[in-house]
Structure 1
Amino acid sequence: MEARHLRYALALAEHQHFGRAAKAVGIAQPPLSKQIAQLEGEVGARLFDRTARGVFPTAAGEAFLARARRALAEMEAAAGDAERAARGETGRLRLGFVGSALLELLPSVLNRFSRDHPHVRLQAAEMSTARGGRALLDGELDVCVGRGAPRGPGAREIVTVAVGRDRLVAVVGAAHPYAGQAAVSVGQLREQHLITASAEEEPATFARLRQAGGDGVFTHRGWTGARDVHTIMGLAACGLGVGLGPASMRAARRPDTWICDVTPGVVLPDLVMSFRADDASPVQAAFLAVTRDLCPHVGAALG
């Protein structure tokens, strides 16, 4: 039994005449009569009464046609679902990201992606670069945004593309002596308790800060590790010390904090988007396409 047999039976029930039904389905009347007879033989019951007034479904035919309508509807729905999935319009995307990605990159990307792909289940979670990298390598994420490429077994199968560049700034509470200054020097930072990304959670950023400030920058006055820029700013506002983070923190400036440039300038590790090279998911491809449209400077790399 094939889908065409169901369509033939439904057409015959609608038109109640072999000739009109044959015209509706685009075949000649004799083949239609033969197909209906074969269908009845396969079902093992007479589905239609042939009378002088027309052709009408029997009780068995009515029962068969009810199921046939639902079966054809499901087949059409299945084909539609497959087409939408192939275009990346349905499915799931698991995204991990560092907090600073919400300051510039992700708001525009996620807004566009959610608008254009409303039926995709987006599972987004903030996590450190280290945690996100492990999750991507373990197959728990489809896309990860962090500072620095994932490391560990399987890292060679990961594609990493820079999607943002930033430099270091310092944030202090409104009552701090540095408040009101346009800039602070790396030498001045050595005399302060620092609040910054931890070596375990953000190894690339921590290494860059230690390189810029020297080995003693974190040991002279001590330091506090924080996972995201919002915690860094909050602890600085509490007067705990001087927070260090990306210049994009200015987008989340608090009224009880002050942000200074750091001299000489310190370039932070790139904000990168990472994903598995062998992932052929249409949803992932759709997400990367949105990113490519909104971040022209990474278009060639993502392509």
Structure 2
Amino acid sequence: MELRHLRYFIILAEELHFGRAAERLHIAQPPLSQQIRQLEVELGFQLFYRTKRKVQLTEAGQLFLGRCQDILQQLEQAIQLGQQAHRGEAGHLRVGFVGSAAYNVLPPILRAFRSQTPTVTLELQELTTDQQLRWLQEGRIDIGFVRPPVKGSTIHSTVIFQESLIVALPESHILTTQTHVATKSLFQESFILFPRSLAPGLYDPIISLCRQAGFSPQIAQEAIQMQTIVSLVAAEMGVAIVPASLQNLQRQGVVYKTLQEETPTVELALIWRVHPSPTVQRFLEIAGSNWQPDPVNQDCQQG
């Protein structure tokens, strides 16, 4: 039995007329009659009562019709799902991201992706850069938002966002009265930093900025999440130099200030494995052409 036999049967059951059914199928009437007889022989039961004046479904044919329609409907759905998966519009996508990405590129990209590929299930996992590199190689995520640099012959990457640095101060700090803060005025401060081992692409520009101002920062505390760093600043544990988009994270007790000097830029990059799936390719297309950064106030604000 072939699928075309089922289609012939369904069309004839809908028309109950061999001539009209043959016309819909774009075949001659005698081959259609022959195909239906062969199907009945293979099934072992009669599908139609035939007279010179009419064609009528048997009781067995009526029951068989319902199941055949279900089969062809499921087949159409399977074909559509396969086509969507081929276009990267169906399936499951596991996305890793550093916490700071949630305050710039991540929300608009996710909105665009969900709007254009609503049948793809997204699984999000907040991870440090080194964790994402490991998870990507292990196949535990499909794509990631990380702080460069990225090393590894099996990993591809592209920078999608660059931004300057600002300083986060406790609201009681004397420097909060200034419009812009000179980096050198922070030389006696205790700093809260992200560990270098987890994100050298963020740690190194901060250290470089301080050294250009004539000092090495005194590190009082390290934290692996940006939210934690800002919370420690609010607790007056120290100050922090952070990416400018972090001012989107408003936290009571924290004031963000721009720095007087031109700062190094810090980057965010997308990473993925070689030979990406169609869904990953679709995500990369949307990320590269359809996102716009959420607005960040030009003047840093108090949280």
What is the RMSD computed on CA atoms of the aligned residues?
Answer: 2.3
Give the stretch that moved more between structures: 132-141 or 203-212: 203-212
Q: Which residues of 2 match residues 234-273 of structure 1 at below 5 A?
A: 234-262=231-259, 264-273=261-270
1:141-180 matches, cutoff 5 A: 141-151=141-151, 155-180=152-177
Kindly indicate whether the alpha-carbon contact (under 8 Å) linking 1:166 and 1:247 is maintained by their aligned counterparts in 2.
yes
Stretch deviating more after TM superposition (183-192 or 66-75): 183-192
Partner of 1:301: none
* Further displaced range: 257-266 or 270-279: 257-266
User: Is contact 1:166–1:246 with CA below 8 Å preserved after alignment?
Assistant: yes
Q: Are the counterparts in 2 of residues 168 and 247 from structure 1 also a CA contact under 8 Å?
A: yes
The answer for the alignment partner of 1:127 in structure 2 is 127
Aligned match of 2:296:
none
Q: Does residue 1:78 correspond to 2:74, yes or no?
A: no
**How far does residue 192 in structure 1 lie from its aligned partner after superposition?**
1.5
Matches within 5 A, 1:99-118: 99-118=99-118
* Partner AA of 2:196 in structure 1: A
Residue matched to 1:193: 190
| Correspondence 1:287 to 2:283 | yes
Instruction: From 201, 223, 230, give the equivalent of 1:233.
Output: 230
Aligned to 2:137: 137
Q: What TM-score does the superposition give when structure 2 sets the normalisation length?
A: 0.87
Q: Which AA in structure 1 matches 2:272?
A: F
Q: CA deviation at 1:31?
A: 0.5
Cα distance in 1 between the residues matched to 2:287 and 2:199:
23
> Could you tell me which residue of structure 2 aligns to residue 20 of structure 1?
20
Letter in 1 for 2:122: L
2: CA distance between counterparts of 1:222 and 1:274?
30
Secondary structure of 1:165's match? strand
Whether contact under 8 Å (1:232, 1:245) holds in the other structure is no
Q: Matched residues in 1 for 2:215 and 2:175: separation?
A: 20
Deviation at 1:216, TM superposition (A): 7.2
Q: Residue 3 of structure 2 corresponds to which residue in structure 1? A: 3
Deviation of the 1:263 alpha carbon: 5.4
Contact 1:186–1:213 at 8 Å: present in 2 too?
yes
Aligned equivalents of 2:265, 2:136: Cα separation in 1: 22
Instruction: Report the CA distance between 1:183 and its aligned residue.
Output: 3.9
For the residue of structure 1 that corresponds to 2:174, the secondary structure is: coil
Q: How many residue pairs align between the two structures? A: 290
Give 5+ residue unaligned stretches, structure 1: 297-303
Aligned residue number for residue 47 of structure 2: 47
Q: C-alpha separation between the residues in 2 aligned to 1:250 and 1:20?
A: 70
Matched position secondary structure for 2:216:
helix
Q: Scaled by the length of structure 1, what TM-score is found?
A: 0.87
Which whole-Å CA distance do the structure 2 matches of 1:14 and 1:257 have between them? 72
Instruction: Please tell me whether the aligned partners of residues 97 and 128 of structure 1 are also in contact (alpha carbons under 8 angstroms).
Output: yes
Taking the TM superposition and a 5 Å limit, the aligned residue runs for 1:21-40 are: 21-40=21-40
**For 1:130 and 1:186, how far apart are their aligned partners in 2?**
29
Q: Tell me the CA shift for residue 255 of structure 1.
A: 5.0
Deviations 1:206-241 (A, max 9, x none): 2333344359735xx442112233222221111111
Q: CA deviation at 1:295?
A: 5.7
Structure 1 letter corresponding to 2:216? V
Q: Percent identity?
A: 33
Distance 1:271 1:208, change over 3 A: same
1:217 maps to what in 2? 216
